[in-house]
Amino acid sequence: MAYTVSLQHIEPRPFAAVRAQMPIRDVPSRFREYLDQVYAAAKTGAISLDGQNIFVYRAAPPNLTEIEFGVGAKTPFAPVGRVEYRHVPGGDVATTTHWGNYSLLGPAHQAVVDWCKAEGHALAGVSWEVYGHWSDDPSKRRTDIYQLLRA
């Protein structure tokens, strides 16, 4: 799949998230345990969500990634268990959109990184995915990929 990468400036975005550290390869088998905590907190009425899942990735100790598994939040809230009010970073980003199966997100991330290198943009070490609403048809699954750029 060919990806079109663009440069954008975005504002920070609030979300309800649970933080974890794990090898990146474990994300597909473990994300649900963290997102379930966010949705359970929302069912109590303590959190108002917008329904878009967001995963934020930061470098961590060797072979680990710090990940915030979350969902867009409509309003600020006090922590509920491990669920915290957080912000997706704002600033200049390189971004692309992936359509299709989530297991194929790696090439989309790599396309953004490669584009940044070719265009001379330094990465800040934070990336994230914003997931569109679920579809049983994998070709209709949208995931927006972002890499924060150094100021």
Q: Across the chain, what does the average pLDDT equal?
A: 95
The predicted pLDDT at position 94 comes to 98
Domain for residue 112, yes or no? yes
pTM of the model: 0.95
Number of domains into which the chain is organized? 1
Domain for residue 77, yes or no? yes
Tokens representing 49 are 């969500």
Domain for residue 1, yes or no? no
Q: Which residues of 116-128 are buried (b: 16+ CB within 10 A; e: fewer)?
A: beeeebeebebbb
Domain for residue 135, yes or no? yes
Domain for residue 19, yes or no? yes
Residue numbers of the domain that contains 46: 6-149
Domain for residue 60, yes or no? yes
**Does pLDDT of 116 surpass 90?**
yes
Average pLDDT over residues 99-126: 96
- The residues that bridge with 72 in the sheet, in sequence order, are 15
* pLDDT, tens only, 31-81: 999 999 999 999 999 999 998 999 999 988 888 999 999 999 999 999 999
Element (H, E) at 65: strand 65-73
CATH code (residue 125): 3.20.80.10
